[in-house]
Amino acid sequence: MKKVGFWKSIHFKFVLIYVLLILFAIQVIGVYFVRELEQQLTTNFTESVNERIRLLVYNIGQEMMEERNSRTLKLEDEIYTILQDFLSNDIAEVEVADSSFRVIGISNPYDQSMIGRRTTEVRLKKAIIGEIETENILLDPRTGNRMFVKAVPIRNQEEVIGAMYVVASMEKVYEQMRVINGIFASGTIISLAITALLGIFVARTITRPIADMRKQALVLAEGDFSRKVNVYGEDEIGQLAETFNELTNKLQIAQETTESEKRKLSTVLAHMSDGVIAADKDGNIILMNEPAERMLNVSRETIYQTSILSLLKLEGTATIEDLYDTAESVLLDFSENDKNKYILRASFSLIKDDHENPTGLITVLQDVTEQEAIEQERREFVANVSHELRTPLTTMRSYLEALADGAWQNEELAPRFIHVAQNETERMIRLVNDLLQLSRLDSKDFQLKKQMVNFTKFFDQIIDRFEIGKGDHFIFERAYSQRERFVMIDKDKITQVLDNIISNALKYSPEGGKIRFELVQKENNLYVRVTDDGVGIPKQDLAKVFDRFYRVDKARSRKMGGTGLGLAIAKEMVEIHGGQIWAESEEGKGTTITFTLPLEKEREEDFS
């Protein structure tokens, strides 16, 4: 283990924390002190200025009342005299205007040309019109100093006879604050220096025994249990040192026991390739190999001493004693949903001591998800095929028995019974043909007879064929342009795909319903859409409509002669062509079936 540098040591961290705490405390006090002092100084300044403003407003108001009906220079001279007496180092500017917005007094001796003119100061006008006082602290754009500005109306009882605008410099207030902040900063630096020296001394008394225990830990890591930690006192750190020495003794005993157990377990795990979990006699996990960790998606560091029943999700259904007595393997279903299947097979083996008493349990895990999925598909396929064949066979047997019993002599019943038997025979033939076609599609040696096709023309021909036979029962809408769109396809296979999709749209659309056909080109794919306004598909069934033998409305589909394999075949054929197929629907409002085909880019560019 490499030596820890001073800047990363606990000694430095302790001093740093100590200094930061003091700095934080000083800063909190300083911020509060400075904020309160600034507020107090500002308040005192504004109160002083406001008191002088009130006195000045009273004096000017008296002069204006005496000369209210006269517009001579006497009033303006008197106001100028009053303003000159009022001026101080803090008051930078005073301007007085009458109720007609005419300037009748200004404190700046170099700006007396404004006397008699209409004032341009907005705050002064607002004070006359609004009859309210306004005060603000602003920043002088020329000097950058803070200025206290106030506009005050001059009243005679309830009548406003003028207004006064005052500008006072607050720079002395903030100059005092800067001096105080400087003194406070100097005091903070001195305090931190003293605190750092004290922190170094205090930290040494704590870090010295910790450093000794660190050395002891390094020695223990090398397997030397002879060294002991020095005890420097009877405080908490001294008690920690004594506990550390006791721990050394216990570690020595535990290491010997652990080495013995490791030899036992390593023998078992050396020849295992599957997931292996070892648990003690209480069912708590004590060992797990990497395959088991991957299978269960857990961390070995965090799973130890956890119940194996909880890990394998057997709580409530089995006890550890049940696992001891289990001779056969158990299937564990860890599937999140129907799509993400994940199944493990667990085999349990009991570990016994010399007296045949159980001391633990070994669990071997195998991933059988794919095997179970194949087996489930096989069972479902056999069940579906059996069901689909049983119905027509049962019907045919009933009608044939009736014919054999003499119904063939009945001129009305015999033809009908024979017709039913023929329909059921044709239905079984269609089913067998569909099954054979799916089998061919599933085979690896299946070959497509592809050729370059203008899909727009090809699509029109298929729609025309259906349009001839639909009569006036349905409305066909072709929502695409007649531009050429070239794809490399097996015409027979894509014809079958479109036949299945369009036939379904016609089957499930009401009389007079509209079938909409679309061709959309996006990037390098051609999107083919067929939309009906029929009964629609429930949301929970959308993902399953392309499964084999799946029907949304089983009774109606069977009545219409469907085998439940049409869309499954369509999906297989589209995917073999390098495309995708999906369904979008809202129950009661219709269904849209969309599939994609790769466009031939070079041919498209030639015709652009």
What is the reported pTM? 0.40
Mean pLDDT value across residues 109-137: 80
Report if residue 485 sits inside a domain.
yes
Q: Between these two residues, 547 and 167, which has the higher pLDDT value?
A: 167
Report, in this order, helix, strand and coil percent for the chain, each rounded to 5. Answer: 55, 20, 25
Report if residue 511 sits inside a domain.
yes
Mean pLDDT value across residues 255-266: 75
Kindly state the percentage of the chain with pLDDT values over 70: 81
Mean pLDDT value across residues 165-171: 83
Are residues 505 and 490 in contact, defined by beta-carbon separation less than 8 angstroms? Answer: no
Q: Between these two residues, 171 and 518, which has the higher pLDDT value?
A: 518
Asked if the model's pLDDT at residue 565 lies above 80, the reply is no
Q: What does the alpha-carbon distance between residue 12 and residue 158 come to, in Å, rounded to a whole number?
A: 72
- Given 134, 158, 175, the domain boundary residue is 175
- Given 320, 341, 366, the domain boundary residue is 366
For residue 427, what is the domain's CATH number?
A: 1.10.287.130
Total domains in the fold of the chain: 5
CA angle 378/384/388 to nearest 5° reads: 145
Report if residue 457 sits inside a domain.
yes
Please indicate, yes or no, whether residues 262 and 277 belong to a single structural domain of this protein: no
Report if residue 327 sits inside a domain.
yes
Please indicate, yes or no, whether residues 456 and 333 belong to a single structural domain of this protein: no
Mean pLDDT value across residues 120-136: 80
Give the tokens for residue 558. Answer: 């069977």
For residue 350, what is the domain's CATH number?
A: 3.30.450.20
pLDDT of residue 222: 73
Report the range of poorest mean pLDDT among 29-33, 46-50, 77-81, 275-279: 77-81
Please indicate, yes or no, whether residues 34 and 137 belong to a single structural domain of this protein: yes
pLDDT of residue 421: 74
Please indicate, yes or no, whether residues 167 and 36 belong to a single structural domain of this protein: yes
Are residues 96 and 162 in contact, defined by beta-carbon separation less than 8 angstroms? Answer: yes
Please indicate, yes or no, whether residues 482 and 528 belong to a single structural domain of this protein: yes
For residue 513, what is the domain's CATH number?
A: 3.30.565.10
Please indicate, yes or no, whether residues 322 and 382 belong to a single structural domain of this protein: no
Report if residue 191 sits inside a domain.
no
Are residues 562 and 549 in contact, defined by beta-carbon separation less than 8 angstroms? Answer: no
Tell me the CB-side half-sphere exposure of residue 248, using CA atoms within 13 A.
23
Mean pLDDT value across residues 322-348: 77
Give the tokens for residue 348. Answer: 């349990």
- H/E segment holding residue 28: helix 10-66
What's the mean pLDDT when you consider all of the chain? 77
Are residues 414 and 403 in contact, defined by beta-carbon separation less than 8 angstroms? Answer: yes
The pLDDT tens digits of the residues spanning 422-463 come to 766 766 676 666 666 666 656 555 677 788 999 999 999 888
Please indicate, yes or no, whether residues 477 and 536 belong to a single structural domain of this protein: yes
Report if residue 184 sits inside a domain.
no
Report if residue 472 sits inside a domain.
yes
Q: How confident is the model at residue 506 (pLDDT cuts 50, 70, 90)?
A: confident
pLDDT of residue 432: 67
Asked if the model's pLDDT at residue 2 lies above 90, the reply is no
Residues of the domain holding 523: 451-607
Are residues 531 and 590 in contact, defined by beta-carbon separation less than 8 angstroms? Answer: yes
Phi, psi angles (nearest 5°) of residue 574: -65, -45
Find which of 136-140, 178-182, 384-388, 528-532 is predicted with most confidence, using mean pLDDT: 528-532
Strands 486-489 and 514-522: unpaired
Mean pLDDT value across residues 283-287: 84
Please indicate, yes or no, whether residues 160 and 43 belong to a single structural domain of this protein: yes
Please indicate, yes or no, whether residues 47 and 168 belong to a single structural domain of this protein: yes
Please indicate, yes or no, whether residues 264 and 308 belong to a single structural domain of this protein: no
Are residues 87 and 94 in contact, defined by beta-carbon separation less than 8 angstroms? Answer: yes
Q: How far is CA 118 from the centre of its chain?
A: 64
Q: How confident is the model at residue 413 (pLDDT cuts 50, 70, 90)?
A: confident
- Given 366, 387, 421, the domain boundary residue is 366
Asked if the model's pLDDT at residue 557 lies above 50, the reply is no
Please indicate, yes or no, whether residues 490 and 565 belong to a single structural domain of this protein: yes
The pLDDT tens digits of the residues spanning 186-244 come to 888 888 788 778 777 777 777 777 777 777 777 777 777 677 777 776 677 777 777 87
Q: What does the alpha-carbon distance between residue 385 and residue 555 come to, in Å, rounded to a whole number?
A: 16
Report the range of poorest mean pLDDT among 95-104, 318-327, 380-389: 380-389
Report if residue 216 sits inside a domain.
no
Q: Residue 133 carries which DSSP code?
A: -
Asked if the model's pLDDT at residue 396 lies above 80, the reply is no
pLDDT of residue 456: 92
Q: What is the CA radius of gyration of the chain?
A: 48
Please indicate, yes or no, whether residues 435 and 470 belong to a single structural domain of this protein: no
